[in-house]
Chain A
Amino acid sequence: MHSTSSQPATYVYGVVPAEPFQTGHPPLRVPGIGGHGDPVRTVVLRDLAAVVSDVPGLRVDLRRENLLDHQRVLEEVLHRSDVLPFSFGTVATNDEEVREVLLHDGYDMLCEQLAYTRGCVELEVKVFWERERLFAEIAEESEDIRALRDRIPLLPADEAAAESITLGQLTEREIELKSEWEADAVLDALDPIAVDVLVSPKLSDTMVLNAACLVERVREPELDVVVAALAEERSGRMVFHYVGPLPPYSFINLAFEARG
């Protein structure tokens, strides 16, 4: 049934409680994915709805414009209601498939998940070292590293190359230790405000922390203050990227079985 990609299909952004999107509420004005201004609409089953728009075929290109469209729709929806976001690039064959496979078969799971993230948004807290400052601190703090650093320029070239590797290994261990210590300090400050915190793998070697916080909307301003203070205290040493509010992408825990 998915053999042709020229048939119009249904792009799925997320699942919401149906009420805030029903008659009496203004339609969503944000354009759908694909750059053709397709209206964003809902497919409803009982008190749940899927936020969708039409796309020309089953495949969506992974390109910047489409990612932005996906994200903008979800941000617009998030202004109005809680939403369980779909991963980018989810396309159903048609509305009926959305209603049956997603809303009908997944009804209980979706309600449970909506209850878990009710009234909450996700905020990303990513912390990076200021690279030069990191290495300066390591050199300051470790006598071994300092000594090796100063000895290398005096060595014959081949010995210097090998010692450089040793120096790099010692440095790497220091980076890990320092990052872990700093990450713990940041997490200790986030924990009391967040409903849940998810720490993901680092995206680069000078990253200190890659965390997602699930926070009640009413407590978001508190988190803003805490993150600002954390960043201020570490100004010049670390850089904070604070992104959100987002739908609770990282706190979705649903397993859909393939439908026979």
Chain B
Amino acid sequence: MAIAYDRAPAGYDRRAQQAAGGKGGVQKMGGASGLADVLNVILEKGIVIDAWVRVSIIGIEIVTIEARVVIASVDTYLRYAEAIGLTSLAAAPRGSEAIAPPAGLPGLPTGFVGPTEEEILAYLDAHPDGVRLGELQAYFGAEREELQGILNRLVQEDAAVLDAERRLYRPGNVLAPAIP
């Protein structure tokens, strides 16, 4: 097997997957050329003598190990929903490209200047029967996407609970999430 040491390591990102997938089948790589694929092995496996492990972590330009832990979060769900939403566009007949992307798929909040998490939690605590996003939006006069981003985080942290069926946000740990 030829080992091409100067080859850039393949990352785990979609681009690399597609590039590899475009050929169909599989390309066998040596550990040095496939460094990205064996990084976790080289760093975490093998013989370890604790007192002798002396790595100083600088130069993390190496390659990122994407999502060491696969975290289920609202942001993840929204990404999945978006990906599923796109399947309908792909399946749509020609001439229907004007269909707007599925509504209600906010991106990650950027440059947020609206209410803080604490303010939203205080409002939720004052309304234990649940609050709709629209109500929060009206109360705080905030951008929907920004509010959604915060609520996503709160739900992820169990600080808030989303009753997905009735689309109500409640204070955390009052009810089990409606969706398992």
Mark A residues whose CB is within 8 Å of B: 2, 12, 14-15, 58-64, 67-68, 70-72, 74-75, 84-92, 101-102, 122, 124, 126, 128, 130-132, 135-136, 138-139, 145, 149-150, 152-153, 155-169, 171-172, 175, 200-207, 212, 224, 227-228, 230-232, 235-236, 238-247, 249-250, 252, 254, 256, 258-259
Contacts and interface: CB of A to CB of B under 8 A. Distances in A.
Contact of A153 (B5, B17, B103): B103
A231 B26 contact: yes
A92 B70 CA distance: 35
Contacts of B10: 241
Contact of B47 (A15, A135, A172, A230): A15
Nearest to A88: B42
Interface of B: 3, 5, 10, 12, 14, 17-18, 20-21, 24-32, 34-35, 37-63, 65-70, 72, 74, 76-88, 90-91, 99-100, 102-106, 132-134, 137, 144, 148, 162, 164-165, 167, 179
A201 B41 contact: no
Given A63-B59, A165-B164, A258-B50, A158 B31 contact: no
Contact of B87 (A88, A136, A259): A136
Contacts of B41: 122, 124, 212, 246, 249-250
Contacts of B61: 63-64
A1 B142 CA distance: 60
Contacts of A145: 84
B39 A67 contact: yes
Contact of B133 (A128, A162, A169): A162
B59 A149 contact: no
A205 B67 contact: yes
A166 B52 contact: no
A203 B68 contact: yes
B43 to A, nearest CB: 5
B32 to A, nearest CB: 5
A135 B59 contact: no
Contacts of B43: 62, 87-89
A228 to B, nearest CB: 6
A149 B54 contact: no
A75 B31 contact: yes
